[in-house]
Amino acid sequence: MKMISYNTIRVENLDIFYREAGRKDKPTMLLLHGFPSASHMFRDLIPKLSDDFHLIAPDYPGFGQSEAPNRNDFSYTFKHLTEIIEQFIEKLAINQFYLYVFDYGAPIGFRIASEHPEKILGIVSQNGNIYQEGLGEKWASRKDFWENPTREKRDSYRTAFSAETIIGQYTFGTRKNTVSPDGYTLDIAYTATEEYAERQLDLIFDYQNNIKAYPEFQKYVREQAPKLLAVWGKNDPSFVPLGAEAFKKDNPNTEVALLDTGHFALETHAAVIAELIKEFF
């Protein structure tokens, strides 16, 4: 196991935090986190892969330890976050890499893969959805918000940042007493930072553009057929297992692993997921 380093780099005049581990002569794997988390969600996975991969896990602007610019100065959209991560990749001179995408990391990662297919060695999609059939029931109410946005509807999503909701995201669909409080406690602490709710509400509203981009992401998967491991917490109410199975209809180089856990599958199955990755790639 190699030591993890904790670093920052300037991208678009912002301090972007990232974790790095493993030898640089090993294949690079870029780990893209989800909501409401940051790169600390990979804290258990990174040590288990660091003998086999060079691992890099950034925090997006407005998340974790990265700089959180004011909304008046920075557009909180997934397209813009993707542009930041693309510049981050260029600054670190990463020419080719594996992608590990989870939740919010999926639209960011698949945008990068679609635009730069020559850079992608393979993909791990862990509850990283790009198919309509993978959307859980909650997305119907979000569709109403997107089509008929009002201040009242926007404010109703502030519950997404409550401690109760965040703990539920971590623990729903898991066996009792198997999820450490470390991850969700840190995520809850981040919700207290300045302007946190407003920038996250901007991203919730912008998520509609990720769904509109699903055909583009699927075209990439279909035409490039990357080696793809869809490993899913099958009890996730946000991105249901049909989203994992859907990869197989577009890509024969897909393997699906459904795990008996929830949305944050790494909280309970980091060792299992690490072994699946090493066996598959």
Determine how many CB atoms are found less than 10 A away from the CB of residue 171.
20
Rounded (5°) CA angle 129-133-139: 75
Write out the catalytic residue numbers.
Answer: 263
DSSP symbol at 169: H
Q: Which two tokens stand for residue 162?
A: 């409550």
Strands 228-233 and 120-126: what pairing?
Answer: parallel
String of DSSP letters for 89-120: HHHTT--SEEEEE-TTHHHHHHHHHHH-GGGE
Of the candidates 166, 172, 178, 92, the one whose C-alpha atom is nearest the C-alpha of residue 136 is 172
Spatial distance between the Cα atoms of 57 and 31, rounded to a whole number of angstroms: 5
